[in-house]
Amino acid sequence: MVNWPEIDNKYYMQTIVRDPVTIVRGKGARAWDDKGKKYLDFVCGLAVNCLGHCHPAVVKAVKKQVGTLIQTSLWYYNTPMLQLAELLVKNSCMDRVFICNSGLEANEGAVKLARRYGALKLNGAYEVITTFDSFHGRSLAMTAATGQAKMQEPFQPLPAGFKNVKSNDIDAIKSATTKKTCAVMVEPIQAEGGVNVPDDDYLKKVREWCDQKGILLILDEVQTGIGRLGALFGYMLYGIEPDVLTLAKGLGGGMPIGAFLAKEKYAVLTLGDHNATFGGNPVTCAAACATLKYVIDNDVAGNAREVGKYLMSKLEGLKNKYSFITEVRGRGLLVAVYFNSEIAKSVVAACIEKGLIINRLKPNAIRFIPPLIILNKHVDEAVGILDNVLSGITG
């Protein structure tokens, strides 16, 4: 049998600490490794496979498209790209779309748009305010936007034009705003930063401040969009509308795609301002169309909302049972469990050994980002395995 970790160690750049499982097949909420072992997958491509592995609607769309037309470039029209653009606009508060390949590209495009707006409408303003513990991508610019020193320090000097301020603090945003500010970019819930849920009125206050100052509000919904929080887009839960919205992860149902959307007033990019060789790719757009239609037609966001509540309640039960669990936090099917010590690595390893794939979020926290189509019975199975693992821990 091939030793895949050995091949990884020999040939792949060692930038990632992988969990000890080689996944070769997936179906729904299940995955199988190269030894034939079956797992309940509560990571599912890092919130990408929102309909689970190889959902029939996505597979059908991809098979049909890959046998018809694979790539054209944005120099030409292609129907899946335009169908997806129409779907996104008609089901959001946005007016214009640019389709790219990832969340990183979506956020880069959103910042580029904001700077162009600042140049045209705000006397050359170019700075974007972001928050500590955010995550917006790993390019040099988005590393500067990401408010995490551990990610920034190895790559100094970083591009200028970003201010990181305290999260969930409107006064911090107000204090950082100057005549150079063109936008504020935040996540409805900071996913990679710790599943940090803001105060209920935080986004409304940020919206009001951006309106007052005439600057753009960019919502990074790369992880929270497409039903993850219990609504099609996270902003819908907070009674506000952004000026610019970024999407990726769940949008493609497993295929790599991203998009940034803007209201007409702020869609100031013109001919020659932006492009992407693989942007609007027919195959990924066909997958995204199939995913988005299924999510909307089958109220997948509603399922995420209700099953998410059930997951939270079951995890709260474990918190009451084990004194070393300090907090359960999240919304919809984006949930984290925090411990009073750095045991997350051993908890994740033990869960994988028992057939449950979960995510190590921090040394003292684990994260659940399962497919949005899971049922209560899947929650019972996952929490049962976690309970069994935690029962062997003293703390």
Active site residues: 135, 220, 249
Q: How far is CA 299 from the centre of its chain?
A: 19
The answer to whether residues 318 and 383 touch, using CB atoms and an 8 Å cutoff, is yes
Q: How far is CA 206 from CA 116, 126, 145, 187, in A?
A: 21, 18, 17, 12
* Dihedral pair phi/psi, residue 374, rounded to 5°: -65, 160
Tell me the two tokens of residue 307.
């099953």
Separation of alpha carbons 33 and 352, rounded Å = 11
The b/e string for 207-225 (b: 16+ C-beta within 10 A; e otherwise) is bebbeebebbbbbbbbbbb
Separation of alpha carbons 295 and 301, rounded Å = 7
Beta-bridge partners for 28? 53
Amino acid identity for residue 101 in this structure: N
The answer to whether residues 112 and 269 touch, using CB atoms and an 8 Å cutoff, is yes
The answer to whether residues 268 and 64 touch, using CB atoms and an 8 Å cutoff, is no
Q: How far is CA 105 from CA 246, 295, 354, in A?
A: 9, 23, 37
Tell me the torsion sign for CA atoms 56, 58, 59, 65. Answer: positive
Q: Which residue in the block uniquely carries the two structure tokens 């100094």?
A: 156
Other C-beta atoms within 10 Å of 309: how many? Answer: 13
Rg of the Cα trace of the chain? Answer: 21
* Dihedral pair phi/psi, residue 99, rounded to 5°: -100, 125
Separation of alpha carbons 317 and 299, rounded Å = 28
The b/e string for 333-365 (b: 16+ C-beta within 10 A; e otherwise) is bbbbbbbeeebbeebbebbbeebbbbbbbbebb
Beta-bridge partners for 183? 128, 216
Name the DSSP letter for residue 317: H
